[in-house]
Structure 1
Amino acid sequence: MTDVLLQIANALVLGLEAVGIAVIIGGFVLATVVWLVNMRRMSTHEAYVDYRRRSVRGLILGLEFLVAADIIMTVAIEYSMENVLMLALIILIRTLLVFALHLEIEGRLPWTQSEDDSKA
């Protein structure tokens, strides 16, 4: 029975990793297509800022899937202190990356309100 659960967990991890990679690639492809369309109606700077926002959002969402895959792999498949510490380091690095990306595209920390949020 445990072999079946292990195979299911492995398949789930591979699926989540594939979705994460697809989301990252899809985010960049979509951002590039929108950027090419926007180049005709926006200034170069506005189109560039919009491109960065769209591509970074895809990257952040893809990283969430990859973190979920790492958590499942560490807890369900390869549970050891070394793997738990490696997972903690991966999550720390990805969390810092997401905060830095969010700060770059939004111009504010994730827990602070934007002007749009304060008006609602």
Structure 2
Amino acid sequence: MSFEQLFADVARVIEGVGVVIMTVGLVSVLLRYAYAAASDRTRTGSYERLRVNIGRVILLGLEILIVGDIVRTIIVEASVQSVLVLGLIVVIRTVLSFALEVEISGRWPWQQTPHTTPPQAVQSPETLEEK
């Protein structure tokens, strides 16, 4: 097995992990939403929590997919065309990440204060039960 083939396989594994995280995360979030929506105690705010949690799952998956793309481009397909394609992919995913972050938190990432607590509607049912 050559060096390039080894890292091509590594890049595929990293990308596969990103896809698995998004798939398993989505199923988990949807199951938690169904449970919360069915319960009278946690029904309020369950849709908002669903949207926030789906956004978080997508953000995590996108970050891991970017790592896979970087490994593939830099080590396996080091050409000007592949670097330009990587740049375009990173720009698109970065814009998506910013849009999801704004959707989740309601503000730009650089407007975050270091010690903010999430709004009541975003907290998990477990956190609400502790109060």
TM-score (norm 2): 0.81
3-state secondary structure, aligned to 2:107: coil
Deviation at 1:4, TM superposition (A): 2.3
Structure 2 alignment gaps of length 5 or more: 118-131
**Correspondence 1:53-92 to 2 at 5 A:** 53-92=52-91
Q: Are 1:32 and 2:30 an aligned pair?
A: yes
Size of the alignment, in residue pairs? Answer: 115
Structure 1 alignment gaps of length 5 or more: none
Deviation at 1:93, TM superposition (A): 0.4
Aligned AA for 2:92?
A: I
Deviation at 1:118, TM superposition (A): 5.2
Decide whether the 8 Å contact of 2:5 with 2:76 is kept in 1: no
Structure 1 residue runs of 4 or more that deviate by more than 2 Å after TM superposition = 41-44
Mapped to 2, the partners of 1:113 and 1:74 lie a distance apart of 33
Higher helix share: 1
**Correspondence 1:1-120 to 2 at 5 A:** 4-39=2-37, 40=39, 41-43=41-43, 46-114=45-113, 117=115
Aligned-pair identity (%): 35
The two structures, once aligned, show a CA RMSD in angstroms of: 1.7
Decide whether the 8 Å contact of 1:103 with 1:110 is kept in 2: yes
